[in-house]
Amino acid sequence: MGGVSGKRILIATFGSLGDLHPYLAIAKELKSRGHRPLIATLDRYREAVEGEGVEFAVMRPLESQFGSTQEVVRRILHPRKGPEYLIRCVMMPFVRESYDDLYRLSKGADLLLSHPITVTMPLVAEKRGLPWVSTVLSPMSFFSAHDPSVIAAAPWLHHLRRISVGLYRGFFELAKSISASWERPLHQLRVEIGLPPARKLAMFEGQFSPRLNLALFSSLFAEPQPDWPVNTVICGFARYDGRPNPVASAELKKYLEAGEPPIVFTLGSSVSMDPGDFFAEAHEAATQLGRRAILVTGSLPSEHSDALERVKVFQYLPYSEVFPNASVIVHTGGIGTMSQALAAGRPMLVTPAAFDQPDNAHRAVRLGMARVVPFQRVTSKKLVKHLGELLTDRRYYERAARVGARLRDEKGARRASELLEKI
């Protein structure tokens, strides 16, 4: 530990498994160094966190406060309206409860670590006078004009940047002015707890700590840019993907040994809650290609196995178990899934739906190891076309192998923990 005595570190995160796993990886590393991390997040993740020996606490809102999880996910993943719904209807109505939970949990803490949308953590840091470190999981959070992202709500912006940096920045200033009203409950909370008015919007510059900002992705994915926040350090991906299930692992091993490497189809933990016809189209594509396939369907059961057992269905598998054994990986491009797919060193077909997924897909294409079909346009015909290209062009495999070898050497959780210890 380099002489650093054990510290109490409060980590707040919110969202899907892709929003939990990097922080669980960091918490495990911190614990191995003698520190006492506590993860505050959604109530559904208690078992996952405590199962790794990490202390857990609920940070409201509770999932039961939203009603149908499937309907909430459907609305959040709307390409254009999703961000507004997330901020106005999911986050802002509960900022007082979230703040109260984090303020209580921060008593006795030595350091605070925040996820991009845990918007009350900066308030707790300011009120308590505690050191605070922020994080980003994907490059899109920076909204850089020098390395422009592909944004689901406005994909044409990426092309606008090629015309004019000024126009690109002007659009974001307009977007910020429009979204400012979405954060009104957070600004009212600042007044109630005796803090001065915020000078920055929570979902833009306000999410970054002036002390230290950890970029939890690889420099292969994005290099530092002049308009990134000060004190930003690229750590590499902090990968973790859950504990294996012995029964599922044995079933997977038996299937893998029985034939050629399969195409692996997955929608991650969010999009899988509203999959539409994706898995039916995936089954049909695998059949037309004459290929074995694995469908990782997530929380909702699926009936797409075939009588010949060429297509195998699992509700959940740790991606580190299955991805390295794939011929091609088909996924939506959420940053957690993307990090595991990149490290596996296999070609990928990305089917992005919303938020950072289109940008992550663009960056994988830029690495020369991926093709893209937007989730809303997935058909068996398109899957067959793009998978056929990936399966037959060895260049995809060569580039993917090089990326995988590089990423497997990165230790994002270790690097992040070293930086936190310096604080």
- The pLDDT, as a whole number, for residue 158 is 66
- The pLDDT, as a whole number, for residue 265 is 98
Domains of the chain: 8-240+411-422 (3.40.50.2000), 246-408 (3.40.50.2000)
- The pLDDT, as a whole number, for residue 301 is 56
- The pLDDT, as a whole number, for residue 2 is 46
Per the rule left: phi > 0, alpha: psi between -120 and 50, beta: everything else, 242 is left
At residue 146's C-alpha, the angle toward residues 352 and 343, to 5°, is 45
- The pLDDT, as a whole number, for residue 68 is 81
Q: What's the CA gap between 140 and 88, in Å, rounded?
A: 20
- The pLDDT, as a whole number, for residue 1 is 43
| DSSP secondary structure letters along 329-391 | EEE---HHHHHHHHHHT--EEE---STTHHHHHHHHHHTTSEEE--GGG--HHHHHHHHHHHH
| pTM for the model | 0.94
Q: What is the mean pLDDT of each run of 10 residues along the chain (423 residues)?
A: 76 96 98 98 96 97 85 88 92 97 98 98 98 97 90 72 73 82 96 95 94 97 95 97 91 96 95 92 96 88 61 93 98 96 98 95 97 97 98 98 95 98 94
- The pLDDT, as a whole number, for residue 303 is 60
Q: What's the CA gap between 27 and 203, in Å, rounded?
A: 24
- CB-hemisphere CA count at 13 Å for 103? 13
Q: What's the CA gap between 388 and 365, in Å, rounded?
A: 16
Phi, psi torsion values for 55, nearest 5 degrees: -70, 140
Q: What angle, rounded to 10 degrees, do the helices at 184-192 and 121-128 form?
A: 20
**pLDDT tens digits for range 123-173:** 999 999 999 999 999 999 999 988 988 888 777 676 666 666 777 777 778
